[in-house]
């Protein structure tokens, strides 16, 4: 074996070692990416279960508001029925300012007024929008600064996201996923409800 054959063999051996090192590095990166994807999936699943819990709690609160509203309506109806011919001071007017303060009619009218005020206070609660609903707009509808503020990322990073760059850290991917429902690593869009 001459010197060139020995050098070629050494070069080949070095090239094989570099190839093996590159393969090992790529396998480690693939394993790291798989872990990242698993973490992102966990976050998506936990957000979904939290949303379901909030929806159930919201439904429970709305049902309780409706029960309270029905109770108040029943009390008001009974007080109105009881107020008919209930005057104990013998005043013949529906205006309570002319009745004695201790008159049964005045007390029943206060009950009616309190029921009306309580029902009015309950109205915004039952008519409030469902805050657990996912109203995430597609990534294409976001402005750079709007996305940066909502996701808590820098405007530069937001512009990279909007340009479609895929080399982003996991924190950015998670932040954008939570705000837009768009997964930057796989391109999936969460279902809108």
189 versus 66: the higher-pLDDT residue is 66
pTM: 0.42
The answer to which of 8-17, 70-79, 91-100, 145-154 has the lowest mean pLDDT is 8-17
pLDDT score of 127: 54
pLDDT score of 37: 82
pLDDT score of 124: 65
> How confident is the model over 30-63, as pLDDT tens digits?
888 888 888 877 777 776 777 788 888 888 888 8
Residue 178: band (very low, low, confident or very high) from pLDDT cuts 50, 70, 90: confident
According to the 3-state scheme, what is the secondary structure of the chain? Answer: CCHHHHHHHHHHHHHHHHHHHHHHHHHHHHHHHHHHHHHHHHHHHHHHHHHHHHHHHHHHHHHHHHHHHHHHHHHHHHHHHHHCCCCCCCCCCCCHHHCCCCCHHHHHHHHHHHHHHHHHHHHHHHHCCCCCCCCCCCHHHCCHHHHHHHHCCCHHHHHHHHHCCCCCCHHHHHHHHHHHCECCCCCCECCCC
pLDDT at 131 over 60: no
């Amino acid at each position: 074996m001459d010197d060139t054959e020995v050098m070629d063999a050494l070069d080949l051996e070095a090239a094989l070692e570099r190839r093996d090192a590159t393969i090992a590095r790529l396998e480690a990166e693939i394993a790291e990416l798989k872990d990242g994807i698993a973490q992102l999936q966990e976050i998506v699943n936990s957000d979904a279960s939290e949303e379901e819990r909030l929806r159930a709690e919201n439904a429970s609160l709305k049902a309780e508001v409706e029960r309270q509203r029905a109770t108040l309506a029943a009390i008001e109806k009974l007080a109105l029925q009881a107020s008919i011919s209930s005057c104990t001071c013998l005043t013949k007017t529906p205006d309570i300012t002319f009745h004695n303060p201790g008159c049964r009619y005045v007390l029943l009218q206060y009950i009616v007024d309190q029921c009306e005020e309580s029902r009015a206070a309950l109205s915004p609660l039952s008519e409030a929008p469902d805050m657990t609903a996912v109203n995430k707009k597609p990534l294409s509808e976001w402005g750079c600064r709007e996305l940066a503020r909502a996701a808590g990322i820098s405007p530069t990073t937001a512009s990279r996201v909007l340009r479609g760059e895929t080399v982003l850290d996991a924190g950015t991917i998670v932040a954008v996923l939570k705000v837009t429902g768009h997964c930057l690593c796989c391109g999936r869009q969460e279902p809108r409800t």
